[in-house]
Chain A
Amino acid sequence: MIDALGGEVKLEGYLSSEARANVGNGDAYLNQWIQRFELNAEVNYQDIGIFDTLSFVTVIRPEFDAAYYYGDDIGGGRGRNGTTPSYMGSKWDFNSNPVGFGGFDAIVGGPFGTFNTGGVGKLILNGLENPSFANNFETILNRTASGAKYDVSVPNGSMLSQFSPLNQMELNCRRCYDLDDDPLDVAMNNTGSSGRLYPFRELYVDATAGDWWFRIGKQQIVWGKTDFFRLQDLVNPVDFGQHFFFDSFEDIRIPQWIASVQWKFGNVGPTTDNALQLVWNFDEFQHVGLGNPTAGWAHPFSKDIATFAAFNEFFSVEPCLGLNLAVRDAAAAGVALNPDIVCGSRGPTDPRKPSGFGIPAGLSEGDNRPEWEIENTEAGLRWEFRLGEFHVATSYYYGWNDTPIFRFDSVLVPEANLAPGTAGLLGTADCTIAGLSAVFALPGRGGGACTNVAGIPAEAFGIPTRVANPNQAIQALADHGVGTIRDQLTGRMVNVQDAAREAIAKKDATILYRTAIMNGGGVSTNYKQSHTPGLSFDYFEPWSGIVFRVESSWTFDELVNNTRKPNWVDTSEVMRWSIGMDRPTFIPWLNKDRTFFLSMQIFDTWYMDHEGDKHTGYFQDEHNFITTFFWAGNYMRDKVKPVGFVVWEEASNSYVFGQNVEWFIDNHWSIKGGLHMIWEGDENYRHDLGPYTSFATPGANGLRDPYNNSIFGVGREGIGALRNNDEVFFQLKYQF
């Protein structure tokens, strides 16, 4: 603290270097090596105008992940130019990801190259990419039957493995962030989740006047009483893509532009120490951070999003042929080459790719996060007081659910399953193009099926398809469906119309979707504003020496995913509650001088409108219990601090264990080392494929398992989804 700028200036911060090595993915490698500088600067004034105190505060935190940026050299071939699978993946090829790599080759049971187009591998087949292009992806969502580890050498049954990029590439995802970041920005953690104004994490003005406290600017507002989880603590989203939940929320909370006013009004009736805080989060909405999909600790949902963005990038586009194949096929068929089907023939901005199917696929609608508008800002209030032995905080927050929810904006219905003459009643006409070849232009060779769709050439081998709203699609099949189709769950043949009607009657779209009748669809990620009141209190029980912490919140009509809904979207009342118990405890045989801080917490997220079972409906259980146990000790006058925790998620029966020891060598230097271990739970990795059931490979019984490694499979796995990212880490820090 020095006197300067007419006030008191305080500068403090740290420099740190932290290396995190993955030891859970078969081969140990440097996953992250983060160099971080943090400067906390403030200028404080006394008695300025109406204010008793006035402060200008900033927290600046640039950082650089050397393992990411130079990952091809020092990160075991991962990171910016990575070509080696991450903790979630395995080598990407036609064997591990038949549909993603080979498209309809796999669906018709043929070898790679059966069709010229469809599937990302066709970029290579058509000569638009080198064979090494395949190294840019990894196969994910490809558990073995035991769910134990990704390994394509282990035979598994019916599956829908998918692919995710391993390094930075432009993916077509409208308004998505944390996706198409510049590699240097990912290395510097300057992603969408860093908020705006990087490297300024916080920048605010703080003032007090009597019983009033004001703060405006980019900041963190912390409500609630629980550790690790957020119930009332809703004002700022958290970036779980940096390092899961292992770093302090202080470091991973995403600062927002917020105005805050607190009024302390003393005693009212039986209550004392009353304070009322009003906050207005006027920042542009920001969802929880999931990490760039290529980052070392990218959350599985980030890879899910990248997968769907890659679908949109590579599958949604119309197909085209490389000149080599186009000429070859034309010559073989003895027909004149249609130059329009050649990639790039429509000019330098020709969007077509040999990988395309020409239908909406993946995140075709992008991220529907709200634009900045005054009505999209968030606000809340908290009233904190003491009542007898209880320290109570009530809160109310009106804001956006900050976890992305997948929604099917469209599904693809084969016209063949609609009665003649009725297809036109549903959605818009399109064509699922299985392959493109001059051969198909010949009469009787499969082409021409989609020529009623504008722009589809005769060279396309396609499936006439209606792109339709999911609800309308099911209704149309109930009204006009024809033919029979196999229920992929039971193996029985069912009447399309009956299946659709049963789905409507039972309000369970999976009854129809599990017949694999749909050819996928286009999705978007969505959010919704909700009201969330909360209540928490703590109480010290003198006899036991335990501090009890109770926190709860109730969110009205929270947006949730429910695969029984045609578009997978539902709302539910969600009650979250937790009970925590803290006790500093002397354990003399371990340390006679100092207590160990022991803390146990039980959480429940209760979806009150829950529906579904282990594989359909909500991917969460009705009650989702998580138990945490935390301990912290101090030795050598608090210079050596061992800290550890265990988290158990009941629904997935998965565990996380962490233990670290930090040694404060002096007032400046410290070193820390530790490990984080994650255990998968019981068979819990499969969930509903919905409209994508048709893309699962048939199992030994010839059926496409509708409950599969899927986007919500990792949801069901919960914390166990990151099972192969076990790590040891070491940090060197200089604070000033």
Chain B
Amino acid sequence: MKVRVTVNGVAYERDVEPRTLLAYFLREECRLTGTHVGCDTSSCGCCVVVLDGTRAVKSCTMFAAQADGHEILTVEGLAEGGKLHALQQGFWDQHGLQCGFCTPGMLLASYALLKHQPNPSEADIREGLAGNLCRCTGYQNIVKAVQQAAATLGQPAGTT
């Protein structure tokens, strides 16, 4: 079947089997390998992408066919004009990653979290990222990174 999706602002049209999962569609059809597949069973959150600008979804547990006609944001689409997104800068500054495998999912889950809660408490961040596993950091620096990003994004343009 034909699947047409807009990923990071770019239109893709591919002919795939209905059973193709969105994570594999992104990685193998769109060649966007920033979306990682960890557990492959919706437990780890490494494959999280953002659907239609606000909803974080585990792309290993959604068929590409379901994304037909929708917009997807992946980690490759976060930076704009060579400038890191505030979340990416936060992860960089706060050392919010070590091996980096969980990072794309962490970034996209955080992106959706901040869309719904622009000024989250530490508890909000910890609860909001409870579906994303990290085996390196112990989470502390990830929480700091999201706090930094929330502060940056909360400032009026031109004040940073």
Please say whether chains A and B are actual partners in one complex: no
A-binding residues in B (CB < 8 A): none
B-binding residues in A (CB < 8 A): none
